[in-house]
Structure 1
Amino acid sequence: MNSEFTIAVHSLVFLASRPDRMATSEMIAHNVNTHPSRVRKVMSCLRKQGYISTKEGIGGGYLFDGDPEQVTLAAIYRATSIGSIKPGWCSGNDEESCMVACNMADVMDRIFCEAEQQLLTYLQQMTIAGVLEQVRAAQRGKG
């Protein structure tokens, strides 16, 4: 899984916690603890998918554009990270005569594909609103 997913979820939860208030990439980056350019890259992807709206210029920024109860983490994963669970390198070599080397890449592809499907099933049960509620509950527990 890549960091874009985490940045996306964190950013959307942050925006959902401030309904009707814009947040700049600098504000979000400070909250996420990353560079504003990384936030802008992720937010661009989320804007294209319709999860946020933007306003440019003075007083501009990002605004959650939707219902946090309806946006699942699976949808955010699909938008930012699909296929990232599979490592870039795969063992095996099709040209070798070894049964293991000749078949390992295909077997590992299936394993990672199935793992990603299980992850999506799990993430489908969670929404941005649910994550925000968990954050609020954690905060209440500290108080």
Structure 2
Amino acid sequence: MNSEFTIAVHSLALLAYRPDHMATSDMIAHNVCTHPARVRKVMAMLRKQGYVAAKEGIGGGFLLNCNPDEVTLAEMYRLTSMGSVKPGWCSGDEEQDCMIACNMATVMDHIFSGAEKQLIDYFGQWTIRDVLEQVRKEQQSK
């Protein structure tokens, strides 16, 4: 999984926390602890998919453009990280006369696909609102 997933979830939770306020990429980047250019890249994906709206120029920024009760972490994973569970690796040559080398890539592809499906199913149980509520509970317990 890549950090774009975390940035997307964090950014949407931040915007859901302040639904009537615009947030600049600098403000989001400071909150996420990353570079504003990385935030802009993720926000562009979110904007293209309709999760956020943006106003350019002075006084501009990003606004939540979705219902945080309906947006799941599975959606964010699919948008930012689909396929990232499977590592880039090589396992021999299919032309080798070796049962392991000839079949390992296919077997591992099935294993990683199953793991990713379980991850997506789990993330599908969580919404942006759920994340925000968990953050609030953490804050209250301090």
In the superposition, the TM-score normalised over structure 1's length comes to 0.97
- Structure 1 residue runs of 4+, over 2 Å off? none
Q: Is the 8 A contact 1:13 1:132 kept in 2?
A: yes
2:7 match: 7
Q: In the alignment, what sits opposite 1:118?
A: 118
Question: Which aligned pairs between 1:85-96 and structure 2 lie closer than 5 A?
Answer: 85-96=85-96
Quote the Cα distance in structure 2 between the aligned partners of 1:2 and 1:90.
21
CA distance in 2, matches of 1:91, 1:34: 35
Within 2, Cα distance between the matches of 1:7 and 1:85?
A: 18
CA RMSD of aligned residues (A): 0.7
Give the Cα–Cα distance (whole angstroms) in 1 for the partners of residues 26 and 106 of structure 2.
Answer: 43
Cα offset, 1:54, TM superposition:
0.3
Secondary structure in 2 aligned to 1:54?
Answer: strand
**Per the alignment, in what secondary structure is the counterpart of residue 141 of structure 2?**
helix
User: 2 CA distance for matches of 1:90 and 1:71?
Assistant: 36
How many positions carry a matched residue from both structures?
142
Query: Shift of residue 96 of structure 1?
Result: 1.1
Q: 1:39-88: CA deviations, max 9, x gaps?
A: 01111111111110000001101111011000000011111111111112
Answer whether contact 1:93 1:101 (CA < 8 A) is retained: yes
Cα distance in 2 between the residues matched to 1:74 and 1:56: 29
Aligned to 1:58: 58
Q: Match for residue 136 of structure 1?
A: 136
* 1:52–1:62 contact (8 Å) kept in structure 2: yes
Which amino acid letter does the alignment assign opposite residue 18 of structure 1? R
Q: Secondary structure at the match of 1:138?
A: helix
Name stretches of at least 5 consecutive residues in structure 2 with no aligned partner.
none
Whether the 8 Å CA contact 1:53–1:63 is kept in 2: the answer is yes
Give the TM-score of the pair, scaled to structure 2: 0.98
How many angstroms apart in 2 are the aligned matches of 1:88 and 1:44? 27
Task: Give me the whole-angstrom Cα distance separating, in 1, the residues matched to 2:55 and 2:90.
Answer: 43
Contact 1:7 1:42 in 2 (8 A): yes
Whole-Å separation in 1 of the counterparts to 2:100 and 2:4: 34
Which amino acid letter does the alignment assign opposite residue 17 of structure 2? S
User: How big is the shift at 1:90?
Assistant: 3.1
Alpha-carbon distance in 1 for matches of 2:116, 2:90: 16
